[in-house]
Structure 1
């Protein structure tokens, strides 16, 4: 039991020799030291989980968690030990306000990784949506690069095919006129193969020749354009297939997912606030315990000890100054 008491005294930053002279203060500083210790322990767990989310390695997460916990423990121990009790409560709180603000900032940093752990199922579901959005956005960027090329090839092909189609319509119309003249259903209205039919037949044959020449001249160009279009479509499909969002899910994106969830669901937003307040209270508890506790014998002894040290230092400086003055006077 004495070992635990000594350990928590150490955590509180109190002087063992002074505490042994005022045993009634032992329980108060055990409480303060316990708050400091468990705050550091909680910080170690939080830091370890945060780094595990990044590197997915137990050894690295454990090492970093221990270092982070020790750092927070040492900082809290300094904050508590540097807070001196005085007769004026308002002055005490005023002097403690920067320390409390720092404790709040530490609590926010410590709480966030544990919030991610608490809401992990919801965050993973939100990450799926974020990944799909990312995949869609990357697909849109790829399409924006290739769509103008594909559209350009389609426009050229449509123009060439429209020219051929227009020529086919003219050819068909002329052939129909020649046929109607031959069977008497149109033109002169007489069934014969006379000169009028010969003219119309020649016009139809000339249109057929022009159509063949047009198809022959456009054939290679159409084939080339279709090959280019197919090539661009294939490149686009290959880039689309290479989109990989499986690696998405780091700490920053988890924080983004948690923020989105808080915006979507008021219950998660309120839970975030209360979790944050809980950690703020835990982190500030050592300072609050010391601030709310009355001034005791330990504080009187500590003040007397520090005052004696200040007087001793002043006396030593005074003796040194006096000795220096005598030495200068003797040399002069």
Structure 2
């Protein structure tokens, strides 16, 4: 229990020696430290999941997730530990605004990957729909890119239509022939039963129509087989192009794709949008909780000890500065006095020497004139 207490004190950025002197503040800083710690854990999980969608590998996601979680933990710890309880609440809130803005930004960054994980099933369904749209669009674009297939298929339809027309004509001649044999009276038959002259003529027409149909079928089938072979070649080329695009479509499962899918889901469903907002607000509340706890909590013994310690440091600094300044001024004064005294002595010696030299020169000149 003692180790947990010290660990959460460390997470809150509090001074251990000062907290030991103010035991009534212990629980408050345990709560602040626990909030900072679990915010870092959530940030690590969120970053790990987000990076797993990027790398598709567990170990890089774990490594960078832990790194991101430690960075968020360090930032939160710095934000909380840098706040000071003053006697003026307005000044505290004014100083806390930049920290609150930073906390909100961190909450938004942390919440987004976890939202993607919470709505994973719905997002997967939306991504599958998007893939289907991409496949359909890709096939339509490829069909437009190979107009030769439609042209060849149109030629095949024309050839089959010719065979069907010839077959219809043969069937019509067959009906006329049967009607003539069985004595059915129509506009084109005599109505006499048996194989008479008209029946033989109808039979010759039927034979000629059958020969023409067989020849046309054979000729058109050869042409159809050739056209179908060409179509298969173009289809193979089209399939090859589609297979080149297939990995890109199958790989449509990155972080940006999932965020786009989540955005589309929130636009389609008001319930999803509300849940998304609530999750975001929850993480904002978690991230800003340590700051608000520091702001709304009354000034306690720990804050008094901390301010006293900082004031002692400032006073000690002032004393050291005054002492160092006095010593420096004394040294400068001593240097100036001794330097100027030595300079005056040197000047006096130089003047005496110059005067003696001048007197000697004058006496020498006078002695020369006397001679």
* Common fold by TM > 0.5: yes
TM-score (norm 1): 0.73
Q: In 1, distance between residues paired with 2:329 and 2:32? A: 49
TM-score (norm 2): 0.66
Q: 1:225-275: per-residue Cα shift (whole Å, max 9, x none)?
A: 999887656533431243312222011111111111011111100000000
Match of 1:315 in 2: 319
Q: In 1, distance between residues paired with 2:228 and 2:314? A: 93
Displacement of 1:58 in angstroms is: 2.3
Match of 1:263 in 2: 267
- What are structure 2's unaligned runs of at least 5 residues? 159-225, 337-371
Q: 1:84-115: per-residue Cα shift (whole Å, max 9, x none)?
A: 11112222112111111111111111111111
Q: In 1, distance between residues paired with 2:44 and 2:331? A: 58
> Secondary structure of 2:121's match?
helix
Match of 2:38 in 1: 38
Conserved in 2, the CA contact under 8 Å of 1:44 and 1:66?
yes
Match of 1:66 in 2: 66
Conserved in 2, the CA contact under 8 Å of 1:84 and 1:299?
yes
> Structure 1 residues 61, 229: CA separation in 2 closer, same or farther (over 3 Å shift)?
closer
> Structure 1 residues 296, 235: CA separation in 2 closer, same or farther (over 3 Å shift)?
same
Task: Describe how 1:1-332 pairs up with structure 2 within 5 A.
Answer: 1-147=1-147, 234-244=236-246, 245-332=249-336
Q: 1:47-87: per-residue Cα shift (whole Å, max 9, x none)?
A: 12212222232222222222121111111100000011111
> Secondary structure of 2:86's match?
coil
Displacement of 1:5 in angstroms is: 1.1
RMSD over aligned Cα, in angstroms? 2.9
Conserved in 2, the CA contact under 8 Å of 1:115 and 1:275?
yes
Q: In 1, distance between residues paired with 2:315 and 2:325? A: 15
Conserved in 2, the CA contact under 8 Å of 1:135 and 1:243?
no
Match of 1:221 in 2: none
> Secondary structure of 1:242's match?
helix
Q: In 2, distance between residues paired with 1:78 and 1:28? A: 17
Q: In 1, distance between residues paired with 2:231 and 2:66? A: 59
Q: In 1, distance between residues paired with 2:229 and 2:106? A: 63
Conserved in 2, the CA contact under 8 Å of 1:47 and 1:69?
yes
Larger Rg: 2
